Amino acid sequence: MVESDKHYQDVRDFHQVMDGRVPQKPVAFTIEQVVNRADFKIEEIVELVYATSQSEEAFDESIAYLHDALYNAAQKTKMKGKQGNSTLVGQVDALIDLLYFTYGSFALIGVDPGPIFEIVHRANMGKIWPDGKAHYHPKTGKILKPDHWERDFAPEARIAQEIDRQESKAHQMSD
């Protein structure tokens, strides 16, 4: 199957290598799967808020705000109801909206995510252990990083370099 989105294909390859759970046709998540995937996204959102917070107090206030936002979104969604969509259609609609909001966030901070995606993809593919397999946290199911991962694959320094490159390029174009 040839897909039009290179990043989708990269992530599909990642899942094929890490856990082999890549269906050959569209299939809806179970509630357990979707809650697990949402948990991963929540962790990244909390990291985004923490990276932006100027103090622990501001972080705590922001997290309290997100608790309220989660409750309010749940109430709004329950009032809307299922609207006759299949589970798969509803899941795909929500995931595309998440993707759109994510790309919108990159647009609003002026960062091209393409090169950074490649850096993170390389780092994620580096999570294979010396035995040639992925290892998982027994409780969360999250892929564990091998001992050499920080030294060989941690993406933060490469991300900083790429952002510096994009800033320099933008500065040169504005001169």
pLDDT bin (cut points 50, 70, 90) of residue 30 is very high
Per-residue pLDDT tens for 110-165?
999 999 999 999 999 999 999 989 999 998 788 999 999 999 999 999 999 999 99
Please report the pLDDT score of residue 2 as a whole number. 54
Please report the pLDDT score of residue 174 as a whole number. 83
- How confident is the model over 84-94, as a mean pLDDT? 89
DSSP the chain: ---S-HHHHHHHHHHHHHT----SS--PPPHHHHHHHHHHHHHHHHHHHHHH-SSHHHHHHHHHHHHHHHHHHHHHHHHH--TT--HHHHHHHHHHHHHHHHHHHHHHHT--HHHHHHHHHHHHHTT--TTSS--B-TTT-PBPPPTTHHHHH--HHHHHHHHHHHHHHHHHHH-
Lowest mean pLDDT, pick from 72-76, 79-83, 145-149? 79-83
Q: What is the pTM of this model?
A: 0.85
